[in-house]
Structure 1
């Protein structure tokens, strides 16, 4: 995770181990809440579902990020779901 943050923020960002731990916990909590939210009251008129193939340095296999985007009646789009998969 440290290597990924350095690639994203730059090595001069000066992120301490405590900061990385706190950010990791916060992002995991946010991801869990996003995944567990109810969509029972949401109406979509259209859904796009696709896979984005990524080459991840830490993995031998190519990773596929499965993405679902919903379109509401007013035309606004929102991310509905993300999941990982393999090619």
Structure 2
């Protein structure tokens, strides 16, 4: 009897509905991981001179924080941020500039929320709308979250509408034009009339 290969079949819910989107998510996950690793490398280089008497580094890499999902334009992407350990006890901590500790959605998603609201999506329908746009795994945007964002937008709008213009200078450009909706046969005659020939 020949040696056979056992191939496990994925469950129906594990099969990606859109392989291109899954490929984009995988690429995004890898790109984010590489960028955060480069950030960590630069951070550890800053503390390369912090050594003990035997020459061992005192600020070292120490595993990862728990994995979390970030909502992006291609759907949720799982990310892992590395941790560092300060053996001196001075509390040196690595915080990624790319993935701040409380980041849950990208800027493009945050910019899309007010646009959807202004287009008439009610707070209760946001979850369904985002699932249609970002995929079935779009989470973390409940009606309470949208209501909280709405209050923040109203505050920002109020501050914006009451800003002062006293110390600012603005340049205005006025343009005027004429639009003719004519067929190409009449175009030559019209141009000749305008020019005055």
Per the TM superposition, whether the score is higher than 0.5 is: no
TM-score after normalising by structure 2? 0.20
TM-score after normalising by structure 1? 0.41
Task: Name which one, 1 or 2, has greater alpha-carbon Rg.
Answer: 2
Which structure has the higher relative contact order (CA within 8 Å, separation 6+)?
1
